[in-house]
Structure 1
């Protein structure tokens, strides 16, 4: 993990087209601005993990349903 120190209004670049800027520091929270192409998906980690979990559950359910359907045709 790379650890960087930045102050308000300072930025970091990720590659050539993603810029992360410190907009504000308030107590133990910071506000970040992210400038990236629309094709780059940006989510809070807890939302990302929830989506991954739901996708995993949905794929298991789909496989189970497919097994049930294909089993009903084997007669």
Structure 2
């Protein structure tokens, strides 16, 4: 992990096109601005983890769902 010290108004450049700028420091709170292309997804970590967990939960297939799908396929002759 790279650890840097920056003051308000200073920036860090990531790759060729992502700029992270320290906007304000108040006590133990730091406001940052991130300038990145639209195709680069930027999320707070807790949002990223919630979305990832929801996606993983929706991808889990239960035995009941498999059995129901097999029954449907038998009835429609697509088995």
**Higher CA-based Rg:** 2
Normalising by structure 2, report the TM-score: 0.83
Deviant stretches of 4+, over 6 Å:
none
In structure 1, list runs of 5 or more residues that go unmatched.
none
Aligned match of 1:35: 35
Task: Report how many aligned residue pairs link the two structures.
Answer: 72
State how far apart, in whole Å, the 2-side matches of 1:68 and 1:51 are: 28
Report deviation, 1:69.
3.3
In structure 2, list runs of 5 or more residues that go unmatched.
none
